[in-house]
Amino acid sequence: MFRYSLSRILLFSITLWLLSIFTFALNYWYPGDPLTNMSGVVGEMTTAYQQESINRAMDSTIFRQYGQYIAHLVEGNWGISLSTQEPVFTAMRHHLGASLELIILGSAVAIVLGLPLGTYAALRQRQWQDKLIMTLSLSTYSIPVFWFAQLAILLFAIQLGWSPIAGQIHPLYAIETQTGSILLDIILSDVEYRGAAFINALQHLWLPTLVVALIPLTMLIRMIRSAVLDTLQLNHIKAARVRGLSDTTILFKHVLPTAIQPVLREAGLQFSVLVTNIIIVEVVFNWPGLGGWLVKSIFERDYPVLQGGLLCLAMLILVANFTIDLLHAWRYPQTRDVIDAD
């Protein structure tokens, strides 16, 4: 496990370094002054200290500029927004919390629904239950997320009135933003109407969460079904049946632990798809997360925000894949044994 973890850490570090080079190069690809694109400090808004820092940076080599760029990233100095003049790192933390709220809840919904539905479909292979689940799964997967989100708003928000159209919470609930996650912010607040605010936040939250969970749910159903069917044909499963073990024992102690292995291996790729869907859902539902923040920066040509948003999303995907790799290797030792042997 140590050698495998070391190789994953090395690969993660190299990827992160290449990512930093790419984001640093964006400052020279954007139109305008590279130092303004990097810092967000514009003309007459500069203080004497800032102007002196800019002059020193202009006189330095590109390698020194890259070193200063990395040092600023580590310090949390990610520049200033060209549109709001707000520090990018401070705003990013709040937007990240809002996005993580949708990601965690959407993933939880996909796992809670996808795992039993995929297993049930495999156990009812070629029966009407299996055909119904797979038909719905394939049909739902074929619907574009942006279209499904608008249909969900039209049906549940406008026609039925079960959910607000957009936003995190009603503006009348003055909840101070601390983490970006509206549920956590309500819990951490000391307002008297926390209960009513929490219910209102859930009313805003459930519909975008279901839309976010749509694609991971359909993919998980199909992967679990395929993995369970393959596992049921293994010799040790047949031997367990011969020994007289009950179907429930075989399913929970032998089939599912084995079937989860290929699904966990693909979880990193599915997380990338989930992050892509998050960007679309946040724009449609006007959710104050990283996706909506990033798209807004594109239209406003706010280069420091665009650079910081891209860096944050890429790091989020890298960290998730790194964690999944370590979890997979810890849970299934044969994976790391093969890599160590190579």
Residue 22 in this model has a pLDDT that exceeds 80: yes
Mean pLDDT (whole number) for 132-136: 91
DSSP state, residue 98: H
> Cα dist. 225→110, 212, 236, 303 in Å?
14, 21, 19, 45
Q: Which CATH class is domain 88-341?
A: mainly alpha
CB contact at 8 A, 228 and 262: no
Residue with the larger pLDDT of the pair 55 and 250: 250
Mean pLDDT (whole number) for 306-317: 88
pLDDT at 120: 92
CA distance 179 to 189: 11
Residue 219 in this model has a pLDDT that exceeds 60: yes
- Give whichever of 42-46, 135-139, 204-208, 320-324 has the largest mean pLDDT: 204-208
Mean pLDDT (whole number) for 203-230: 90
pLDDT at 49: 47
> 255: part of which helix (H) or strand (E)?
none
Work out the pLDDT band at 41, boundaries 50, 70, 90: low
Mean pLDDT (whole number) for 220-225: 90
Q: Above pLDDT 90, what percent of the chain?
A: 15
pLDDT at 44: 46
Residue with the larger pLDDT of the pair 265 and 215: 215
Q: Which of 69-83, 258-272, 322-336 has the lowest mean pLDDT?
A: 322-336
Mean pLDDT (whole number) for 284-307: 86
Q: Above pLDDT 70, what percent of the chain?
A: 87
> If you average pLDDT over every residue of the chain, what do you get?
83
CA distance 24 to 39: 11
pLDDT at 154: 92
Work out the pLDDT band at 60, boundaries 50, 70, 90: low
Mean pLDDT (whole number) for 278-288: 90
DSSP string, 226-240: HHHHHHHTSHHHHHH
Q: Which of 34-43, 67-76, 85-94, 229-238 has the lowest mean pLDDT?
A: 34-43
Residue 62 in this model has a pLDDT that exceeds 80: no
pLDDT at 53: 54
Mean pLDDT (whole number) for 277-284: 90
Global pTM value:
0.83
| Helices and strands (DSSP H and E) totals, the chain | 16, 0
CA distance 335 to 328: 8
CA–centroid distance for 128 within its chain: 35
Query: In the Cβ-directed half-sphere of 34, how many Cα atoms lie within 13 Å?
Result: 14
